Every structure is written in C-alpha cells, then in structure tokens.
Amino acid sequence: MAKKFGGKYSPGGKASGDPVHEEAVSARALDDATVGTKLLYIPAIILVFTSINDGPVNLIVALIGAALLTFAAWFTQEGLRAEAAYAARKVARKPSIPRKMLASCATGFGIALAAYTGDSGIIGSILYGVVALGLHVVAFGIDPLTDKRMEGVDTFQQDRVARVVEQADETLAAMRDHITRLEDRDLTARVDAFQATARKMARTVEEDPRDLTRARKYLGVYLEGARDATVKFVDLYSRKPDPDARTHYIDLLTDLQDNFAARTDKMLVDDRTDMDIEIKVLRDRLQREGL
C-alpha cells in the first residue's frame, strides 16, 4: 500500500550527506559535461548578421556555414553527454555515432565557408578550416573508440547488460526531461532521488551481470511505467495543479524507490553469499590438499 510521502526528500527536509542525494547530484554530470558549450552557437549567429549586406551569394554561403556551425555546436553537446555516460559506467559500448568527431569536421567546414565570405580566398579559407578543426579536437577530444568491458566476464553477458543499462538511462533521462517542464524544484529533486536509486541498481548489475535476470523487470518494465506515469502526471498537472494528483505521484515514486532499493540490497546480499561460498569451497579444497 502506498504510504504518505515525507522525510528527507519532502519540501524542507534535510538531504545533506545522504548517499542517495549525493548520487542524484552525480547523475547530473551529463548536464555538467556540456557547461559552456552554448557559446559555440554564437559564431553562427555572428556570421549570419555580418553577411546580410554582402550580396546573395555570400549570404547563401554564410547561411550554409552557419548551419554547419550550429550542427557542430549541437553535436558537440551530444558527444560530451555520451562521453560522460560512457565514463560513468563500468561496462559500456562505444557511442554508435562519433558525434564529437563529426562536430570537429562540421566546425572545420563551417569556418572555411565563413572565411570564404571574407577576403581569405580558397587556400586561406581551407587553412582556416583546418586550424578550426584541429582546435576543436584539442578542446573537446575525440569520441571513445572501444567498448568498455570487465575482465573475466562473458562478452555476450556484458553486451546484454550494456543494452539494458543504456535503455534504462534513456528512460530515466526522458522522465527527468518531462518533470522539469513543471519547473517545480521539489518534484525534480524527488525524481532525482528515485533515479539515483535506479542507477545504483544499474551499476550493481554492471558489476555482476549475473544479476541481470533479477533486475531486468525493474530496469525495463518498471522504469518505463514510471516514465509513462510521469508523462501523464505532467500533462495533467500543467493544465490544472491538483494536490491529490501530486500526492499520488510522490507516493508512486516512494513505492518505486523502496522496491528498487530493496531489490538492489537483495542482489548485494546474494552476491556476498556467493562470494562466501566460493571462499569456503576454496579453503576446504586447500585444507584437503594439505596447503
């Protein structure tokens, strides 16, 4: 039965020092990874406005260059988010699209076109583009090029875990995107706390892929249900704030978080039991062999 929400994560409650709160903060590292990248959109804007009175040909070239620079800025942000997610996981597949490297190329072409609208000529424009491409690579690096795996664990199992965890992270990200539409700091913090618990389960599965069978329903069906419930709640609450709907939604998050935490603790206990059994078997064998 759902219980009334209250405590550390309720408005006015204290969450400092709580490990779940700290994990929720670290989960926002994906957004922190793109801090300052919005400045990359400025050159495209400047290029368009400075080319308006330069004739139709230069304006078209400038618009194409601005489009490439805008694409490069967006792909740089997405590439940094993907790299942050890759770095945060112990088991991860390399990004399917090399976003940062494509952004570097787009930056080079965009700057070359921007230079061409001036008095740089073809050779000079190409040189400017090459320099811009190189500077982008130096500033932001390249995308991860290899899968991240754990030694001693079956490759097939790691691939299954990586797919499930990636899908879970996408579902959690969509859930947070929807709740932030309400601009309600308390609700956003409550969703962050639940997501921290869900991500802790995902990290536990990454460390021991044998837990995937027990966690699949939680990281799949339950998370998708939480996302769908969030979408419906946000649609309802944005049209007409309803205290009862808010309470029911918070109760749902509390029940989900409690169940996710309990399942994660159970997996950790089972893992410890398995380790103790293996140690005991090994010690017994060594004693039998007189070592």
Q: With 0-12 CB in 10 A as exposed, 13-18 as middle and 19+ as buried, what is 65?
A: buried
For the segment 173-196, the average pLDDT, to the nearest whole number, is 90
Range in 83-92, 124-133, 147-156, 183-192 the model is least confident about: 147-156
- Inter-residue contact 143 to 79 (CB < 8 Å): yes
Return the pLDDT at 29.
62
The pLDDT mean for the chain works out to 81
Return the pLDDT at 12.
41
Return the pLDDT at 138.
95
Interacting residues of 252 by C-beta distance below 8 A, sequence separation 6+: 2, 226, 229
Check whether 10 has a pLDDT greater than 50: no
Please report, for residues 9, 18, 24, 247, the alpha-carbon distance to residue 15 in angstroms, rounded to integers and kept in the order given. Answer: 6, 6, 11, 20
Check whether 200 has a pLDDT greater than 60: yes
Return the pLDDT at 46.
93
**Cα-Cα end-to-end distance for the chain:** 55
d(CA 188, CA 182): 9
Concatenate the DSSP letters of all residues of 49-106 into one string: HHTTTS-HHHHHHHHHHHHHHHHHHHHHHHHHHHHHHHHH-SSBPPPSS-HHHHHHHH
Return the pLDDT at 98.
93
| Single-letter amino acid code for the residue at 238 | S
Cα four-point dihedral sign 130, 36, 199, 220: negative
Return the pLDDT at 73.
95
Check whether 274 has a pLDDT greater than 60: no
- Inter-residue contact 194 to 179 (CB < 8 Å): no
Cα four-point dihedral sign 143, 144, 146, 148: negative
Concatenate the DSSP letters of all residues of 198-241 into one string: HHHHHHHHHH-GGGHHHHHHIIIIIHHHHHHHHHHHHHHHHHS-
Most confident residue range from 27-31, 131-135, 251-255: 131-135
- Inter-residue contact 178 to 231 (CB < 8 Å): yes
d(CA 90, CA 149): 7
Domain boundaries in the chain? 33-140, 151-288
Q: Which of 201, 94, 203, 200 is nearest to 144 (CA)?
A: 94
Return the pLDDT at 286.
57
pLDDT tens column, 229-270: 999 999 999 888 888 999 999 999 999 999 888 888 887 665
